[in-house]
Chains A and B, each alone.
Chain A
Amino acid sequence: MELRVGLDIGSTTIKCVVIDENNEIIYSSYERHLSKISEKIAEVLKVLKKDVLNGIENVKISLSGSAGMGIAESCGFPFVQEVYATRIAAKLFNPETDAIIELGGEDAKILFLNNGVEVRMNGSCAGGTGAFIDQMASLLNVSIEEMNELAKSHEKIYTIASRCGVFAKTDIQPLLNQGGRKSDISASIFYAVVNQTIAGLAQGREISGNVLYLGGPLTFISELRAAFDDVLKTNGTCPKNSLYYVSLGAALASDKLINLDTLLEKVSNYSHLGNFAFRPPLFNNEEEYLAFKKRHDQAQVAIYPFEKLQGPAYLGIDAGSTTLKCVVMDEKKNIYYTKYMSNSGNPVPLVKDLLQEIYELKPDIQIKASAVTGYGEDIIKNAFKVDFGIVETIAHFMAAKKFMPEVEFVIDIGGQDIKCFKIHNGTIDNIFLNEACSSGCGSFLQTFASALGYDIASFSKLGLFAKRPVNLGSRCTVFMNSAVKQAQKDGASIEDISAGLSLSVVKNALYKVIRASSPEELGKKVVVQGGTFLNDAVLRAFELEMGIEVVRPNISGLMGAYGAALYAQLMCENNKESTLISAEELEQFTHKIQVTNCGLCENHCRLTINVFNDGRRFIGGNRCERPITKKVVDNELNIYSYKLNLLQSYRDDTKGKRGEIGIPLGLNMFELLPFWTVLFNSLDIKVIYSPLSSRKLYLYGQTTIPSDTVCFPAKLMHGHIRELIRMGVKKIFYPCMSYNIDEKKGDNHYNCPVVAYYSEVINNNIKDLKKENIDFIKPYLGIHRHKDFASKFYENMKPHFPDLELKEVQEAVKNAYKAYDDYLSKIRIKGDEIILRAREKGKQILVLAGRPYHLDPEINHGIDKMLSSFDVTIISEDVVSNKVKSKINVHVLNQWTYHSRLYYAASYITNQKDMNLIQLVSFGCGVDAITTDEVRDILEKANKIYTQIKIDEITNLGAVKIRIRSLLSALERKENQNGKIKIR
């Protein structure tokens, strides 16, 4: 009997099969390898030798799987690439298969087997895999099996960003905090995985026919299969041995006899190459560590036993994203009670228990005032009638000042977020929050520790004396996973990796979030806090990287809560009683959740309505105040809503004697809408625009997107074009435009490459264009050359509208340029009006600066509306960019029309006292890597606060809100040094 062996070393598991000459499996095993790869292979081989192969010396064996590549190379294992292996197995066992979807621990793959084999693997930016589901399950505090069960009874599907785990987390956390149902969230997570897989991997190819589901997640999670079935409108099968296809393929491909003992010896002696980049050790010896410990033990606030508490007390709660923290202090600011616990999703029952505990331990407690901060601020404040709510940044600042009165810089690394700010003249001057893509913080270390089989505390301790900490760089979580894999392959020890991860967290904070290049930039007086800094390895890494000594308070993880308590003390008025829920009320406390969709505007926010026992209600998930106040927001001071209405007013009412033409309403077509409408109407051609973007429209086009890392506004174009086709339009006009209008503001007047040529991508990736016989018109047009434009336009359009005359085109073009100018001047006039009115009312004016297409509510996610709800005035960059008459000097090549408006707008507001700027940046916009630094420079030179908001598919505005509130309160402080928020 001839046996063949296949091993599959995945990112988290090792799978082994042995098959006989009939390709029947006679043995299989499936185990987690906890990254101890060579040891585990040796173990598996020994078991094989002993139990399965009895006596066979030479066996046909191959190895597959991404984590096995290195060891295969050096031990002389024949290696089969894993996707290729899958294909071999599928061809044999399921020859009728058209497509395979395989999800693994960290990989996602789609194989197309019919009409030309095509294989897709997740690229460098992808979540939506087994590891992602694991992460989400631990966020929900359930097991995978429970999650599957929960999903079965779902009622609603929430929109969860499907690009990467970090994004999804930012979506899920607030849902949990606002009391979203776990069953709905579980199912939504599975749908997010489906969307991620399709958007990231299908890349324009339709998944149809017989679909095979392979790999761990799809084998174990029936609801995930159901979600795929639902979205793909198919009925896929999960075959027998679905876990083992890769190893089966490897076994099938084995054709070389290998001596098992030799192999085993090689694997056991597998000496690591030791070839990885590393950094100096965190500590060279025990003495260094002790001195370090001693120094940090000095930063203390006194903590006494709870029963010693006398007199009025102040309660501070920090309902963070992954942890809940609480502090009770007395008038002298000494602490008597602390609590630090992980937040398993819904903070309400936790706070209830916590308050109960406080009332039980100290029945005579006299809480004078209470305050809450963090992600869960709103719901906790409402549920328990907490006196004050406070933005996290301010809370942390208050606490930091207690330890270092002249603190210049505070950095807080929590479970999921990094918050840092500079302090200038006693005011929070500059706030950095981590963008959704770089949260290599506490929760990441945590996940990593448990993936490697350690708890967080002992894992990070391992790194303290590591000889060669791995240099893992400063990238987001998903990348980091693979970087660790690489380091392991190169022979890094667990100690080296632990230390390396601590260094990475620090680097992420410094170089990605703060973007500092030297300690001088941050100041010499630095307070570090947040749970992650309780970790000595991270703290040391930070000091080493910065080259300075910092202060870590003994209550480093409780600073938010302590700050809230300090704030409560500061804000409370002497003769007023705290509104906090009493012990008696607490006993009656109940909390129910309903989910509904708000129908008050086109955003259709999903609302969670929390109902409390006394009939009070709290609504979460809303972007604006309308569902709560039922009042229409004053859009009069929001240019975004004016612009959107103005665009709608270019409604086409021509009969269209010459026929009609469709235009997708996205990217540069936004601002050029008046131009094209008037141009075509003057030629008796009716223009049909695609509707404003929506989630549905995006999903409709999603399967045709070839590059998963292109910006969201570009991705939306696929939906717009498909929608136009669905609407029955036969001619679609979407020109290529290297150049934009020359506003004489810069060195050139380009569009960015994506805006310039996206119609080429559309043309080659949306099959319906051909199938429906659409006349897709995508000429290269130079709108910057007024003189030549008419004749060039005429030349290009003549084949599609043969009876056009050059003369009428010339006339029409004239009208079009005029319409464009009119449109811009209308915006400017309205903008000036808004500025005037805001000034009359003494309101803050914010320039919400981005690109014309950020007007799309699906792109800006209603940020303008949210800002309006804070009672500020909103104008856009094009309102003020023209007010600077002379050419400004910037330190970059100023060559894109839309982007140069940003520089001009920033430059204009530098001497406008009541104006500030928020820059909207699309995730993946390469050009903004250049503009953001420059805009920041311009503003900071003039002592203005720079705020940037990165937007993507992401739909939750929680993080954005923090930023805005911090900005507004910083501005308030700035405006009036002795203002409302006194910070002593």
Chain B
Amino acid sequence: MEKLKYDKKTGRLLFTKQMRKDYTILFPMMAPIHFEILGKVFKKLGYNCELLETNGPEIAQTGLKYVHNDTCYPAILSIGQLINAVQSGRYDVNKVALMITQTGGGCRASNYIHLLRKGLKKAGLEQIPVISLNLSGMEKNPGFKLTIGMIRRAVAGVIYGDSLMCLRNQCHPYEINDGDTDRLVKKWQDYIVGMLNQSKGYKLKEIKENLIKIADDFHSLEVDRSEKKVKVGVVGEIYVKYAALGNNNLEKFLEEENCEVNLPGILGFVLFKIDNRLEDIKLYGGSKIKRKVCQILMDYCLKVEDALVTSISRYDEFVAPSRYYHTKSLVDGVIGYGTKMGEGWLLTAEMLELVESGYHNIVCTQPFGCLPNHIAGKGMIRKIVETNPKANIVAVDYDAGAPKVNQENRIKLMLSIARENLEKEKVNI
């Protein structure tokens, strides 16, 4: 074990430069396509990162054991996954560190890192340092610094991930040769990692070129689109939206029900979080310098987004993601832009975006008792359905105690109506 050093002011255990050399950094799974890329990129940058791909009921059990049971499910799962890994015997508990994201918003999610530390303490693993991954300059560690290079690679990783996820979901249900789509995803993941690790592929120009190549490649997959499938969009609290562990394999379930699934990408969430700072200044006043910095970051991400939208909209078969500002405009008059905690107004906007792009059937996922979703999810569904009679939305709660059978039953009900609507559509054509 390296010497343990603590932050003088807060007494927080630090991740030191020495630790960086020989510690394994574990981080919990969320969106597989994206996270696999990011994990490998961080590794190349000198952090011995390992993405946890574990699953199974013991993860939730470990979480429940070390985290307050009324805390939201994503905390129970991601902390459960981390502690479960540490206790598995696969790692030297004196040479391991944990990494977890921290958004800094007004929702409980900003507290995950503290709950993780409390859990470690309870488990007698206080010597394990925890690294906060955030863009707000919250907790700092001598052994871990987000550099501009890292941020740019991360943004690139996110955008490539969004592209792969978006295209995969639109090809997989129609592929003629089983497994073609996923093989293509894998091929591109490897390619992207290789590229980023050679310090290539994260400049805007390269991103543009690569995204076009990716779209071309997916477009040339052998598919049969003659059978119309039920199109289902998935929105929700970010963790249960993407993580199979959190949503009981929702994507797979929907695929097995013969649906085409659409999960709006992660870049939108990143843009939303940056934009919040601008909105804050607009609504309540604030520093001009801060605004400037955010605007620069915002503009950069928007350019990257443009590359993505352009690359995919070249083909009529594909539905390209909506542009951030367009999505944002959809909630005008529905919910205010000041609703920024958790997924905030973006969650409502994504539902409207999906409806607009032809995904009328929506699963709105949330952890049981998710505070922001009382507002932006369940609280807005009535309004959305009122103004979009075609919208067919089901809200599903996820929780360690909520059994899969009930969730699937509710989703099946939504799908029954979706199929009925699809039949009607066919008749009308």
Chain A contacts to B: CB under 8 angstroms: 66, 69-70, 79-84, 116-119, 121, 123-125, 203-205, 277, 471, 473-476, 479-480, 482-483, 485-486, 489, 511-512, 515, 517-518, 706-707, 709-710, 714, 736, 738-739, 748, 750-754, 756-758, 760-761, 764-765, 778, 780-782, 784-785, 787-788, 791-792, 889, 891-893, 895-896, 924, 926-930, 932-933
User: What are 12 residue pairs bridging A and B, where the CB atoms are less than 8 Å apart in the complex?
Assistant: A79-B412, A83-B413, A124-B401, A706-B379, A752-B106, A760-B379, A782-B280, A785-B284, A785-B285, A788-B284, A895-B110, A926-B70
In angstroms, Cα B111 to Cα A570, docked, is 50
The answer on a CB contact under 8 Å between A69 and B405 is yes
Contacts of B106 in A (CB 8 A): 738, 748, 750-753, 756, 895-896
The B366-405 residues at the A interface (CB cut-off 8 A) are 368-376, 378-383, 385, 389, 395, 397, 399-405
- In the assembled complex, which residues on chain A have CB atoms less than 8 Å from the CB atom of B416? 80-81, 83-84
Minimum CB–CB distance from B409 to chain A (whole Å) comes to 5
Tell me the minimal C-beta distance from B386 to chain A in angstroms.
Answer: 8
Min CB gap A895→B, angstroms: 7
Task: Please tell me the size bucket of the interface on B.
Answer: 35 or more
The distance in angstroms between the C-alpha atoms of A393 and B426, with both chains bound, is 68
Please give 17 more A-B residue pairs, beta carbons under 8 A apart, in addition to A277-B57, A754-B371, A778-B336: A119-B417, A121-B409, A124-B368, A124-B406, A125-B397, A482-B402, A706-B379, A706-B381, A707-B373, A736-B338, A738-B341, A753-B107, A753-B372, A760-B335, A764-B382, A765-B383, A930-B111
> Which B residues are in CB contact (< 8 Å) with A928?
70
Q: Which 3 A-B pairs have the closest CB atoms?
A: A782-B284, A475-B401, A788-B285
Is B118's CB within 8 Å of the partner chain A? yes
Q: Could you say which residues of chain A place their CB within 8 Å of the CB of B66?
A: 517
Q: Is B374 touching A710 in the complex (CB atoms < 8 A)? A: yes
Indicate if the CB atoms of A893 and B114 lie closer than 8 Å. yes
Structural contact, A511 and B371, CB atoms closer than 8 A: no
Given A754-B374, A889-B10, check contact A517 B284 (CB 8 Å): no
**Residues on B with beta carbons closer than 8 Å to the beta carbon of A788:** 284-286
Contacts of A205 in B (CB 8 A): 382
Judging by beta carbons under 8 Å apart, are A757 and B401 in contact?
no
Q: CA separation between A933 and B402, bound complex, in Å?
A: 24
Given A486-B404, A764-B383, residue A473 in contact with residue B64 (CB < 8 A): yes
List chain A residues, Cβ under 8 A from B280.
738, 782
A750 to B405, CA, bound (A): 37
Contact A752 B401 (CB under 8 A): no
A761 to B376, CA, bound (A): 8
Inside 8 A of A891's CB, which chain B residues have their CB?
Answer: 114, 117-118
Considering only CB atoms, which chain A residue lies closest to B70 in the complex? A929
Central interface residue in B117, B375, B402, B410, by most chain A CB within 10 Å: B375
Contacts of B371 in A (CB 8 A): 752-754, 926-927
Interface residues of B (CB under 8 A from A): 10-11, 56-58, 60-61, 64-66, 68-72, 104, 106-108, 110-111, 113-115, 117-118, 122-123, 280, 283-286, 334-342, 368-376, 378-383, 385, 389, 395, 397, 399-406, 408-410, 412-413, 415-417
Evaluate whether A926 and B370 lie within 8 angstroms (CB atoms) in the complex, with A81-B412, A489-B405, A511-B64 already known: yes
Pair B410/A121 contact, Cβ less than 8 Å: yes
Q: Contacts A714-B374, A933-B68 known; A66 to B409 CB distance under 8 Å?
A: yes
Q: For residue B246, give the distance in angstroms from its CB to the closest CB of chain A.
A: 14
A124 and B417 form a contact (CB under 8 A)? no
Cβ-neighbour of B338 out of A277, A738, A758 (below 8 A): A738
User: Which chain B residues lie closer than 8 Å to A511 at the CB level?
Assistant: 64-65, 69
Q: Tell me the nearest residue of chain B to A521, going by C-beta.
A: B122
Which residues of A have CB within 8 Å of B403?
Answer: 479, 482-483, 485-486
How many Å from the CB of B123 to the closest CB on chain A? 7
A116-B389, A124-B397, A710-B374 given; A515·B114 CB < 8 A? no
- Whether B68 pairs with A515 at a CB distance below 8 angstroms is yes
Enumerate chain B residues within 8 angstroms of A123, measured Cβ to Cβ.
395, 397
Residues in A whose Cβ lies below 8 Å from that of B122: 517-518
Residues of B within 8 A of A757 (CB): 335-336, 338-339, 341, 372, 375-376
B409 contacts A930, C-beta separation under 8 Å:
no
Q: Are the CB atoms of B401 and A476 closer together than 8 Å? A: yes
Within the assembled complex, what's the spacing in Å between the Cα atoms of A706 and B395? 11
A512-B69 in contact (CB<8A): yes
Whether the pair B285, A760 counts as a contact (CB closer than 8 A) is no
Kindly list chain B residues whose C-beta atoms are within 8 Å of the C-beta of A893: 110-111, 113-114
Chain A minimum-CB-distance residue to B368: A124
A472 to chain B, nearest CB (A): 9
Question: Once the chains bind, are A792 and B284 in contact (CB under 8 Å)?
Answer: yes
How distant is the Cα of A101 from the Cα of B10 in the complex, in angstroms?
56
Query: B69 — nearest CB in chain A belongs to which residue?
Result: A512
User: A515 — which chain B residues lie within 8 A by C-beta?
Assistant: 68-69
The CA of A791 and the CA of B410, in the complex, are separated in Å by 48
Q: Compute how far the CA of A118 lies from the CA of B416 in the bound complex, rounded to whole angstroms.
A: 12
By the criterion CB–CB under 8 Å, are B409 and A780 in contact?
no
CB-CB under 8 A from A761, the residues of chain B are 374-375, 379
Chain A residue nearest to B340 in the complex (CB): A738
Bound Cα distance from A781 to B413, whole angstroms: 41
| CB contact between B399 and one of A124, A781, A932 (< 8 Å): that residue | A124
A480 contact set on B, CB distance < 8 A: 401
Residues of A within 8 A of B341 (CB): 738, 750, 753, 756-757
Q: Cα distance A142–B130 when bound, in Å?
A: 57
Q: Who on chain B is nearest to A85 by CB? A: B416
Contact B284 A780 (CB under 8 A): yes
Closest chain-A Cβ to B126's Cβ sits at a distance in Å of: 12
Q: Which residue of B lies closest to A921 (CB)?
A: B70
Q: How far is the CA of A714 from the CA of B64 in the complex (A)?
A: 27
Q: Find B283's partner among A82, A778, A782 (CB 8 Å cutoff).
A: A782
Report the separation of the CA atoms of residues A83 and B412 in the bound assembly, to the nearest whole angstrom: 10
A753 touching B413 by the CB < 8 A rule? no
Docked complex Cα distance between A714 and B375 (Å): 11
Q: Which residue of A lies closest to B395 (CB)?
A: A123
In the complex, chain B residues whose CB is within 8 Å of the CB of A748: 104, 106
Assuming the contacts A66-B405, A123-B397, asked whether A782 and B285 have C-beta atoms less than 8 A apart, the reply is: yes
**A787 and B284 contacting across the interface, CB-CB below 8 Å:** no
**Residue of A with least CB distance to B377:** A707
Q: Which residues of B contact A117 (CB under 8 A)?
A: 417
Q: How far is the CA of A687 from the CA of B65 in the complex (A)?
A: 50
Compute how far the CA of A612 lies from the CA of B373 in the bound complex, rounded to whole angstroms.
54
User: Contact at B69–A754, with CB atoms within 8 Å?
Assistant: no
Chain A residues with CB below 8 A from B409, complex form: 66, 69, 81-82, 121
Q: In the bound complex, how far is the Cα of B60 from the Cα of A230, in angstroms?
A: 44
Contact A116 B385 (CB under 8 A): yes
Give min CB distance, B236 to chain A, whole Å: 14
Known A-B contacts A80-B416, A930-B111; the reply to A479 vs B382 at CB < 8 A is: no
| B337 contact set on A, CB distance < 8 A | 780
Q: In angstroms, how far is the closest chain A Cβ from the Cβ of B388?
A: 10
| Shortest beta-carbon distance from A418 to chain B in Å | 14
How distant is the Cα of A815 from the Cα of B410 in the complex, in angstroms?
Answer: 53
Q: Tell me the minimal C-beta distance from B64 to chain A in angstroms.
A: 6
- Docked pose: A204 CA to B369 CA in angstroms: 19
Q: Name which residue of chain A comes closest to B107, CB basis.
A: A753
Cross-chain contact B401 with A892 (CB below 8 angstroms): no
Known: A736-B336, A753-B107, A760-B339. A787 touches B285 (CB 8 A): yes
In the complex, residue of chain B having the shortest beta-carbon distance to the beta carbon of A890: B114
User: In whole angstroms, how far apart are the Cα atoms of A273 and B103 in the complex?
Assistant: 41
Given A473-B64, A926-B108, is A709 in contact with B369 using a C-beta cutoff of 8 Å?
yes
Q: Whole-angstrom distance between the alpha carbons of A117 and B400 in the complex?
A: 31
- Residues from chain A with a CB closer than 8 A to the CB of B410 are 121
Assembly CA distance A81 to B410 (angstroms): 9
Given contacts A482-B405, A511-B69, A753-B372, contact A780 B379 (CB under 8 A): no
Which of A517, A896, A930 makes the CB contact (< 8 A) with B123?
A: A517
Shortest B272–chain A CB gap in Å is 14
Known A-B contacts A709-B369, A930-B108; the reply to A66 vs B406 at CB < 8 A is yes
Within the assembled complex, what's the spacing in Å between the Cα atoms of A431 and B405? 37
